Amino acid sequence: MRKRLGCIPHTFAQPVIRSLQSERGAASAPFEVVQDIPTKITQKLRDGELHGAFLSPAEFTDVYAGCEIIPGVGVASEGESSSVMLAFSEGRKSLATISADLSFRSEIILAQIVLAEKYETAPAIIPLKGDPFSALRSADAVLLHDAGNVALPDGIHSIDLVDEWYDIVELPFVHAFWMVRHGSLDTQELHSIKSLSASGLADMQAAEDQRPPSGLFSYDLDERALDGAREYLRMAYYYGFLKDIPDLKILQSS
């Protein structure tokens, strides 16, 4: 029976999971891969419906008691990546409300940290309904996730929240990494996840029409990236967006 893995649907995550799925059909794939919004993938992992998942550090806080991190493979960016944007009408001087999809907790927390640190403001988060730019009729700003291919309408400005994050801490922002339930995968399966993830990245870099450009993201979960994730969790806790700071438990045998 194939093991089940979950993944967020973001564009930047696709190179990591593409080789986990088979072009010959689902039956021949080494793993069963489920893609859904972060909150649902987190719930499935917590409930034991998944053996592992590719999720953000924010989601890891909900499952860390029973999960560990596969070293070496993740998605991080620093500087302008256009992956998480805050859009608002031209000329706006203050932000009291932000419309956001509440399923994307990591991006919401990033926006809250940046606005608290750099602008000393704490706008209320209101649920996004319908078209994101239509939301600007009732909210001061809208949070855009996976925003690399989003065209801004005339009169709408934006700030790149990952670039703002790097300006604050001079560390990468970690979008996601592999986390697995303790003891749910054997050594060979863990190795397969790492090697197949690397294979998918190599395929993307070789493609002429690679999306997103590989230069915008790092897929190596190295110590500097882990330091960025730890700082994100520390600051999220400091500002009250997380209840505690989980230890990033790294698997030693994978």
Which pLDDT score is estimated for 240?
A: 95
pLDDT tens digits, one per residue of 53-107: 999 999 999 999 999 999 988 999 988 888 899 999 988 888 999 999 999 999 9
What is the average per-residue pLDDT within 180-203?
85
Contact 68, 180 (CB under 8 A): yes
Predicted pLDDT of residue 37: 93
Q: What is the CA radius of gyration of the chain?
A: 18
| Vertex 102 angle, CA 111 and 171, to 5° | 30
Question: 246: cis peptide before it, omega within 30°?
Answer: no
pLDDT (0 to 100) of residue 204: 61
pLDDT at 178: 95
Angstrom CA distances, 105 to 41, 146, 151, stand at: 12, 13, 23
pLDDT per residue as tens digits for the range 226-254: 999 999 999 999 999 999 999 999 998 54
Distance separating alpha carbons of residues 86 and 111, to the nearest angstrom: 8
The stretch 37-48 carries a mean pLDDT of: 94
Summary mean pLDDT of the chain: 87
Q: Residue 210: pLDDT above 60?
A: no
Which pLDDT belongs to residue 112? 97
DSSP annotation of 153 reads P
pLDDT value at position 83? Answer: 87
The strand pairing partners of 23, in sequence order, are none
Domains identified in the chain and CATH numbers? 4-71+174-214 (3.40.190.10), 84-169 (3.40.190.10)
Between 15 and 213, residue with greater pLDDT: 15
pLDDT for 160:
94
Q: For residue 227, what pLDDT is reported? A: 97
HEC readout, 5-42? EEECCCHHHHHHHHHHCCCCCHHHCCCEEEECCHHHHH
Instruction: Tell me the percentage of the chain whose pLDDT exceeds 90.
Output: 60
In this model, does residue 22 exceed pLDDT 90?
no
Model's pTM, two decimal places? 0.89
CA 165-170-174 angle, 5° bins: 60
